[in-house]
Amino acid sequence: MQFSFTEEQGEFRDVLRRFLADRSATAEVRRLMATDRGWEPDGWRKLNQEMGLTALAIPEDYGGQGFGVVEHAIVMEEAGRALLCAPYFATTALAVPAILTAGTEDQKRALLPAIAAGDTVATLAHVEDDGVWDGSTTTATATEKNGGWSLDGTKSFVVDGHTADLIVVLASAGTGLSLFTVAGDADGLTRRPLTGVDPTRKLARLELKGVAAEPLGTIGKAAVPLAETLDQAAILLANEMVGGAERLREDAQEYVAMRMQFGRAIASFQAIKHRCADMLLDVEMAKSAAYAAASAAADGDANVPALASLAKACAADTYMATAVTAIQLHGGIGFTWDNDTHLWFKRAKASEVMLGDPTYHRELMLQRWHEEDAA
């Protein structure tokens, strides 16, 4: 595992942070979160292409820049810090890994360049109304007819599901779990935006009635690619979360330094100081876990599944605890709509649950734990 970022990685982060501070300022976040889409095609295409964000972790053979999980995680962390309103997580952390792990060579060549270029927004629809995250209770069905496949059923909790151009859908094809690609505007596909706790990342519920679909890779063999995809998504989400947690921590730190009560900055009260120290500890631990998991994934470490769950659970608990503390340190103002803290609080709450809550991932982590591999 890699325990420090290279100078190049550090510089990339710095550039990206400044860029997003400018382009995803909270005024912009508030503007976009109030829209139904949650992001704007033109604005996102421009922002994405300027920094090459979706291209970053797609192999060069498929039109990408060929960077690895560590660089991808840096983008996620900075996106989490800036609360970037964009279909970046759905496209690069859910759809792309699914295509890379499940798709045929031809499919990768067909699908990925447009994603890398920022022309196609994609997502993964693998969860249904029962909210089971691993696809094991999938009821959506795929039927073959005249050499083509069509899908029926319902998918829910689909990130950016109502706005994606391309949707990777998990369905049961009789012989086992299979992944399919479906066009966002396909006939028979009804997409309904869901009202979410987190207004900065939109979810949708999809109803599929005889929707034309193309199998992604081999029919009935989606279990392994799906699991790998979800591990990678969990790691990337963990990195996004620690970015958000760090931002909350810094903002709260800044607030207590400025806020005067009883004739002194509240930062001078020991209770506040100790709370800030604990918050720093928490966030640094979660960062270490998120970084370690990303580095392990980049290395193809055998312990990646366990570390993915560890990092997801750790980051989720920390993000939520940090959000709670950040509001508390702001006092009443932190509970107001006009203060920005709640935007990250709500992302923290949604991220806690997204892809499975900490309790779920702690259990998974232990099932997957190989003591000898744990560094």
User: Hey, which residues between 114 and 153 contact another protein (CB under 8 A)?
Assistant: 127, 131-133
Q: Which of residues 198-237 bind another protein (CB under 8 A)?
A: 198, 203
CA 164-169-174 angle, to 5 degrees, is 165
**265 scored as a contact of its own copies (CB under 8 A):** no
User: For residues 316 and 347, what is the distance between their CA atoms, to the nearest angstrom?
Assistant: 10
List of long-range contacts for 325-333, beta carbons under 8 Å, 24+ apart: 325/252, 325/275, 325/279, 326/248, 326/249, 326/251, 326/252, 326/279, 328/275, 329/252, 329/255, 329/256, 329/266, 329/272, 329/275, 329/276, 330/252, 330/255, 331/259
For residues 334 and 212, the answer to whether their CB atoms sit within 8 Å is no
* Of the residues 7, 8, 270, 300, which one makes contact with its own copies according to CB under 8 A: 270
Q: How far is the CB of 326 from another protein (least distance, A)?
A: 9
Partner touching 335 among its own copies, another protein, none, CB below 5 to 8 Å by kind: another protein
* Of the residues 291, 298, 301, 305, which one makes contact with another protein according to CB under 8 A: 291
**362 scored as a contact of its own copies (CB under 8 A):** no
Q: Which is nearer to its own copies, 192 or 274 (CB)?
A: 274
Q: Which is nearer to another protein, 146 or 270 (CB)?
A: 270
Q: What is the DSSP string of 92-127?
A: IIIIHHHHHHHS-HHHHHHHHHHHHTTS--EEEE--
Q: Which is nearer to its own copies, 34 or 271 (CB)?
A: 271
List CB contacts of 68: < 8 A, sequence separation 6 or more. Answer: 57, 298
Q: How far is the CB of 210 from another protein (least distance, A)?
A: 25
**271 scored as a contact of its own copies (CB under 8 A):** yes
Q: How far is the CB of 331 from another protein (least distance, A)?
A: 5
Amino acid at 205: R
Partner touching 127 among its own copies, another protein, none, CB below 5 to 8 Å by kind: another protein
**359 scored as a contact of another protein (CB under 8 A):** yes
To the nearest 10°, the Cα dihedral for 68, 70, 74, 76? 70
List CB contacts of 264: < 8 A, sequence separation 6 or more. Answer: none
Specify the stretch interacting with its own copies by CB under 8 A; choose among 72-80, 109-117, 209-217, 265-273: 265-273
User: For residues 127 and 139, what is the distance between their CA atoms, to the nearest angstrom?
Assistant: 10
Specify the stretch interacting with another protein by CB under 8 A; choose among 55-63, 99-107, 164-172, 360-368: 360-368
Q: Which of residues 300-329 bind another protein (CB under 8 A)?
A: 310, 313-314, 324, 327-328
Q: Which of residues 176-195 bind another protein (CB under 8 A)?
A: 194-195
**262 scored as a contact of its own copies (CB under 8 A):** no
Q: Which is nearer to another protein, 224 or 281 (CB)?
A: 281
Q: Which is nearer to its own copies, 159 or 276 (CB)?
A: 276
* Of the residues 36, 42, 263, 300, which one makes contact with another protein according to CB under 8 A: 263
Using N-to-C axis directions, what is the helix angle for 223-258 and 270-299, rounded to 10°? 150
Q: How many residues sit in the footprint of another protein (CB under 8 A)?
A: 81
Reference 374, options 305, 282, 283, 314; nearest CA is 305
Pairing of strands 122-125, 166-172: parallel
Residues forming contacts to its own copies in the complex (CB under 8 A) are 269-271, 274
